[in-house]
Amino acid sequence: MGNASKRKENNFLLQGGVLAAAGIISRLIGLVYRIPLTNIITERGQGIYDIAFQIYSIALLLTSYSLPLAVSKLVSERVAKGETTNAYRVFKSAMAFAVTAGGGIAIVVFFGARGIATHMMSMSLSTHALKVLAPGLLFVAVMGVLRGYFQGLGTMLPTAVTQILEQIVNAIVSLIGAKVLLDFGKTAAREQGDELLEYAYAAAGSTLGTVVGALCGLLFLALLFFAYKKRLKRQLRSDRSAHKESYRFIIKIMLLTIAPVLLSTVVYNLQNILDNAIFNGIMSAQGLTEADYARDNGRLSNYLTMVSIPLAIANALAVSFIPTIVRAAETKRKRVIHEKIHTLIRVTMLITFPCAVGYIALARPIADMLFFRLDNEVLAIMLQLGAISIVFDGLSTVTNAVLQGLNRMMKPVKNAAVALVIHLIALFIVLVFFKWGIYGVIISKIVFSIVMCIMNSHDIREEIGYVQEQRKTMLVPAIAAGIMGIVTFMFYFILNIFCPHVVATLIAIVVAVITYTLSVLLLGGISEEELLAMPRGARVVKILRRLHLLNEESY
């Protein structure tokens, strides 16, 4: 019995690891292809694209975002009880919901694209991109049901494969579509006397990748399902469970399952939508043209892309630690729970502090290296101004995970709602009274992340009496990152005199990594015991001892 339980746990961890790895890979592909895409469609095209994509994201929330989780939960519950027929009824009910909701919203978005883009987001140029995205709402909804069904059967592999497949196709088609439609847009712009049409067409071409990627993922899952259908029929014939659930009952349970997930997701995703809507509306009232704030929206998109790189690691850490914290919470041993939380937050701070300081020191060089066709002066200031938010966003991400692991699911939702209100008040003040423009959006985002950190930390302390140790967690990474920032900036300044810009930037980044690592070790930020717990830790410790880089002082 013990071995069977152990095998189940190992299988769960393996499946979770597969899904987490796929999520990281697909995220990195998404980050990488955005760089050449932005260089093709420029900041104005990126701004138009992002407005359309944000509307699309909200529509996805309403139709399909929470479907995989709900279907997976309901199917797995019934499979565990041997109720194959009821599990299949869940699948069919969810599929009917997905086709109805996804198809219905897709029709509304397609035919209402101009009104939504013009009146809701003050960006009529997003109309073309929004129409291209509309069919994707149906594809993603149906794909979500298939993913959830396979997850409920105990396999994460189909979801993992389609995540990567979808993102690869998305990257290729987006780049080709943007380039082809940019040329068409230039012709249309000349004929109609509106230079912005070329960016609108380019944005529409780039959104084509999202739709084609979703369609490819859907077709792959459909083939898997039809291959599985023969086995499913045998299972349905052998199902001897007496109770057959009605479709009406299943739909009701499914909606009750979706509701809390939908609520939490909406709260988190509203921030960027409201930021753009408020920013565009206020900028328009202050006399800026649509072209001006489309360019600023593009800069904001590039900023968010760059700061999301270190945050992707924080998200991966959070996902991987939730099961660990859950198991620790089940033991009712506070010391074990505290150790898990301590490790999670420390590792996150060790990663986010150098990333934040690195952007402060090398904001312009990194921006120029990535977006080489653009004038990155404003983007560089945005990065330097908002770099500290990487630390707070990373901390809020992992403290969210802690609260979820402690089964306090609504706490982060409540905290995010409060932070959102404070964020919007701050945004209105900095835009209307201080007139800080796009920099005001960055300031308000910092306010949001700080409020989240404070409230999450308070809830964790109230829940289990945990208070994070400060010296090794905060002070050492901050000092080490500060040393790294000074050394890195000096190296880049000197190298840039003799080397090409890109070479100087890359060498400076390597110097930053080495300097930070050495500083953390010499300041005692990582103990020998912690190094030994890592893969090949004994070999690393042996080398560091020879180099006298281990600080033996304990804190």
User: What integer pLDDT is reported at residue 533 of this predicted model?
Assistant: 54
Choice among 158-162, 189-193, 374-378, 450-454 with the minimum mean pLDDT: 189-193
Q: How far apart are CA 384 and CA 365, in angstroms?
A: 12
Each residue of 540-554: pLDDT tens digit?
777 777 777 766 553
Q: How far apart are CA 26 and CA 33, in angstroms?
A: 11
- 516, amino acid identity: Y
% of the chain at pLDDT higher than 90: 35
pLDDT mean over 506-518: 94
pLDDT > 70? residue 54? yes
pLDDT > 60? residue 500? yes
User: Do residues 463 and 431 touch, judged by C-beta distance below 8 A?
Assistant: no
User: What integer pLDDT is reported at residue 326 of this predicted model?
Assistant: 57
Each residue of 195-210: pLDDT tens digit?
677 888 888 888 899 9
pLDDT category of residue 555 using cuts at 50, 70 and 90: very low
* DSSP single-letter state for residue 289: -
User: What integer pLDDT is reported at residue 150 of this predicted model?
Assistant: 87
pLDDT mean over 297-311: 83
Selection from 482, 81, 125 nearest residue 244 by Cα: 81
Q: How far apart are CA 33 and CA 174, in angstroms?
A: 9
Q: How many CA atoms lie within 13 A of 293 on its CB side?
A: 27
User: What integer pLDDT is reported at residue 491 of this predicted model?
Assistant: 94
pLDDT > 80? residue 381? yes
pLDDT > 90? residue 482? yes
User: What integer pLDDT is reported at residue 364 of this predicted model?
Assistant: 95
pLDDT category of residue 289 using cuts at 50, 70 and 90: confident
pLDDT > 50? residue 524? yes
User: What integer pLDDT is reported at residue 6 of this predicted model?
Assistant: 45
User: What integer pLDDT is reported at residue 68 of this predicted model?
Assistant: 80
pLDDT category of residue 375 using cuts at 50, 70 and 90: confident
User: What integer pLDDT is reported at residue 10 of this predicted model?
Assistant: 44
How far is CA 305 from each of CA 31, 38, 381, rounded to the nearest angstrom?
A: 7, 11, 15
Greatest mean pLDDT among 30-44, 84-98, 264-278, 283-297 lies in 84-98
CA angle 476–478–484, rounded 5-degree value:
100
User: What integer pLDDT is reported at residue 412 of this predicted model?
Assistant: 84
Q: What are 185-194's contacts with CB under 8 Å, separation 24+? A: none
Choice among 27-41, 98-112, 361-375 with the minimum mean pLDDT: 27-41
User: What integer pLDDT is reported at residue 95 of this predicted model?
Assistant: 92
Q: How far apart are CA 94 and CA 220, in angstroms?
A: 19
pLDDT > 80? residue 421? yes
Selection from 325, 407, 309 nearest residue 358 by Cα: 309
Burial of 507 (0-12, 13-18, 19+ CB in 10 A): middle
- 540, amino acid identity: V
User: What integer pLDDT is reported at residue 242 of this predicted model?
Assistant: 67
pLDDT mean over 375-403: 92
Q: How far apart are CA 134 and CA 60, in angstroms?
A: 10
Burial of 353 (0-12, 13-18, 19+ CB in 10 A): buried
Each residue of 144-185: pLDDT tens digit?
899 888 888 877 788 888 888 999 999 999 999 888 888 887
pLDDT category of residue 1 using cuts at 50, 70 and 90: very low
Extents of the domains making up the chain: 13-239, 262-465, 469-546
pLDDT mean over 51-72: 79
Question: What average pLDDT does the structure give for the chain?
Answer: 83
User: What integer pLDDT is reported at residue 536 of this predicted model?
Assistant: 60
pLDDT category of residue 530 using cuts at 50, 70 and 90: low
Q: How far apart are CA 438 and CA 43, in angstroms?
A: 13
pLDDT mean over 476-499: 95
DSSP 215-256: HHHHHHHHHHHHHHHHHHHHHHHH---S----HHHHHHHHHH
User: What integer pLDDT is reported at residue 554 of this predicted model?
Assistant: 39
The counts of H helices and E strands in the chain are: 18, 0
Each residue of 211-226: pLDDT tens digit?
999 999 999 999 999 9
Sign of the dihedral defined by the CA atoms of residues 93, 97, 98, 99, in that order: positive
% of the chain at pLDDT higher than 70: 86
